[in-house]
Chain A
Amino acid sequence: MTIASNDAVTVAADDTPRGASLRRYVAVKAGGALISLAMVVVLGFFAFRVLPGDPVRTMTQGRQVTPEQLEGLRRQLGLDDPLLVQFWNYLRDLATGDLGQSYVYKNSSVAELIADRLLPTLLLTGTAAAISVVLGLWLGQRTAWRRGSWFDKVHTGLALTFWSVPTFWLGLLLLLVFGGGLGWFPTTGMTTAGAGYTGVEHVLDVAHHLVLPVITMVAVVYAQYLMVMRASVLEEMHSDYLTTARAKGLRDDLVRTRHAVPNALLPTVTLIFLTVGGLVGGAVTVESVFSWPGLGYLTYQALSEPDLPLLQGTFVVFSAIVILMNFVADLVYRVLDPRLRSA
């Protein structure tokens, strides 16, 4: 991902022309999403089958097992079957929502493990995304409107610096200062272990745990929204309609909020959805640093074992979520752009 200011324009240009019907538009986008989904499923299978290691050995690491037991386990997992048979079984299981059995968490299926972790991840990334979008867009239009001012210089500088910070390192620093040093915020997990809070107390407890992970994610993510919004408003700066608005005698603030911002918002909205993939990457590192019990932390746990079915499951689910969000972005864009809607 780069902070490219002309991305939005390219996205818009790629879209269907005015005359195309809504149904056709949705069908094309849905088809694209389905193909991407199919590629994820295929890659999810074959990437893990070219692995040189022996999964059965990994599973039984550190325990006394006879060759017969290994053989039995291999047969039980279907690792002896021809590749195509395995692929067919994988597809059939996937269709019924079965993502296989975890190597490490013996009593849980991958699907159960993932379902348990879905909500915490949505809570964390959702909160962080909402805050970064609002913060980034607001700062973006302010800096563009007063470009060259100290406000612009300070905020673009800050944003670029935060953008250059590895997420996990920022998390570590916050952990050291506010968690370890000052002790203002809890440093691990989502709830206080053993406290057994209910109702309002539980909500407050979760919110307290949420503070540091959310700050970490927002700090790294909001920069790209700021830069895109800033570039987008700058594109509008010399438009005739703004001159007209000023000539009408509108106050400067109203010219900005009623005329410039709504137009600049359009290309920015698509980009926000396109950054969901990046948010997922942020979730993996932030959750690993703060032991936040979400999908990202599950991925981290899976790769440190390595628990291959679990890793395969998180890869497929993460990718599916992102593909779905991008499909939604295409639909939202269609609704938002009056030029496309009226056609």
Chain B
Amino acid sequence: MSAATWQRRRAGLRESAGEFASYRSGLVGAVLLVLVVLLALAAPLLVPRESLAVTQVTADRNEVPSLAHLLGTDSSGRDVLGMLLWGARASLLVGFAATAMSMVIGTVVGMAAGHFTGLTQGALMRVIDFFLVVPSLVLAIVLSTVLASGLWTIVIAIGVTSWASTARVVRAQTLTIESRAYIERSRALGAGDAHILGRHVLPAVMPLVLANTTLAVGAAIIAESTLAFLGLGDPTTYSWGSMLKRALDTGAATAGFWWQVLPPGIAIVLVVLCFTLVGRALESVLNPVLRSHR
């Protein structure tokens, strides 16, 4: 690609970034997310993993929040704040990994369904339609029951069941791009499928996928917590969903131990809300139609 192309794209990016900064809610969301990610990365430094082992705890069970344990302790005497920090790692990891998987499948299938014609397109459209209508949580439940339980099973279950809406959006965008004159020119000059898809279509659908991604991470985090709540999570890791599941199983909810029920839920809501705000701001920046009447 020529230097001029890159220059144009860089200028476009700068403009978009400036536009994004003018959405206050999106900016607040982005700052909070960076903070949460940093806290999750720093979790091993702040709270040693060993201190959360049931055999190592020194605190009493179900302790009320105090200076020593800011969010109290759980039914095994583990520090709730420490588990919350470690839980952020699993919840964010599942959220990002499942979304990455879903975006890759969605982009590839969507581009192919828009680019190719005939039987390939027909078959791909049927597959997209199927995943679009099939109730994703029920399918995710089936997948995670059938596969061995673990963090990656959850990632696969969410990734496989959530890509269809991306594929549909990407397909629509691909059709729009491919109807433009420069694609025809490129084809006339002898460009093959790989060149058109890789050099022209992909860069053009990426902004759309990016906005979609931010919204999807939030949905994936909710899906993770729901699967964990239904008992399909990885029993060996801490995630916000599994903390809530444990609080339920040990009767913390009915016993009124609010510090075990509220923090994981609030953490989920906060992070998902941030992703939604950032995603909506990105969508408005990248979609000129929406920009005019924000």
In the complex formed, the residue of A with least CB distance to B248 is A172
- List B contacts of A304 (CB < 8 A): 230-231
Chain B residues 138 to 192 lying within 8 A of chain A, measured CB to CB, are 138-139, 141-143, 145-146, 148, 165, 168-169, 172
* Interface 9-mer from A46-54, A128-136, A198-206: A46-54
Q: Which of B138, B229, B248 contacts A280 (CB 8 A)?
A: B138
Is A161 within 8 A of B269, CB to CB? yes
A170, chain B: closest CB distance, angstroms: 8
A228-244 vs B, CB cutoff 8 Å, 1 = contact: the mask equals 00010010011000000
Q: In the complex, which of the residues A2, A5, A172 has the most CB atoms of chain B within 10 Å of its own CB atom?
A: A2
- List B contacts of A10 (CB < 8 A): 168-169, 172
Tell whether B244 is near chain A: CB-to-CB under 8 Å: yes
* Interface 9-mer from B2-10, B41-49, B56-64, B213-221: B213-221
* Interface 9-mer from A32-40, A83-91, A113-121, A246-254: A32-40
Is B145 within 8 A of A36, CB to CB? no
- List B contacts of A312 (CB < 8 A): 142
Known pairs A147-B293, A164-B270; list 9 more (Cβ under 8 Å): A4-B215, A4-B283, A5-B283, A160-B277, A161-B269, A164-B269, A176-B253, A176-B261, A319-B138
B251-294 vs A, CB cutoff 8 Å, 1 = contact: the mask equals 00110101001000100111011001101100100010110010
B220, chain A: closest CB distance, angstroms: 11
- List A contacts of B272 (CB < 8 A): 164
- List A contacts of B232 (CB < 8 A): 303
* Residues of chain A having any CB pair with chain B under 8 Å: 1-7, 10, 13, 32, 35-36, 39-40, 47-48, 50-52, 147, 160-161, 163-169, 172-173, 175-176, 180, 231, 234, 237-238, 274, 277-278, 280-281, 284-285, 288, 299-300, 303-304, 306, 308, 311-312, 314-315, 318-319, 322-323, 326
Tell whether B116 is near chain A: CB-to-CB under 8 Å: no
Is A47 within 8 A of B231, CB to CB? no
Is A277 within 8 A of B133, CB to CB? yes
Chain A: interface secondary structure?
A: helix
Is B146 within 8 A of A50, CB to CB? yes
B16-54 vs A, CB cutoff 8 Å, 1 = contact: the mask equals 000000000000000000000000000000000000000
Is A2 within 8 A of B130, CB to CB? no
Tell whether B222 is near chain A: CB-to-CB under 8 Å: yes
Is A160 within 8 A of B133, CB to CB? no
CA distance A297 to B172 in the complex (A): 38
Is B229 within 8 A of A168, CB to CB? yes
Chain B: interface secondary structure?
A: helix
* Residues of chain B having any CB pair with chain A under 8 Å: 126, 129-130, 132-139, 141-143, 145-146, 148, 165, 168-169, 172, 212, 215-216, 218-219, 222, 225-226, 229-232, 241, 244, 248, 253-254, 256, 258, 261, 265, 268-270, 272-273, 276-277, 279-280, 283, 287, 289-290, 293
Is B138 within 8 A of A314, CB to CB? yes
In the complex formed, the residue of B with least CB distance to A33 is B133
Given contacts A39-B130, A166-B268, contact A285 B165 (CB under 8 A): no
In the complex formed, the residue of B with least CB distance to A317 is B138
Is A2 within 8 A of B215, CB to CB? yes
Is B225 within 8 A of A166, CB to CB? yes
Q: Which of A167, A169, A180 contacts B244 (CB 8 A)?
A: A169
CA distance A319 to B232 in the complex (A): 20
In the complex formed, the residue of A with least CB distance to B138 is A318
Q: Which of A36, A51, A147, A161 contacts B146 (CB 8 A)?
A: A51
In the complex formed, the residue of B with least CB distance to A167 is B226
CA distance A50 to B130 in the complex (A): 21
Q: Which of B212, B254, B269 contacts A2 (CB 8 A)?
A: B212
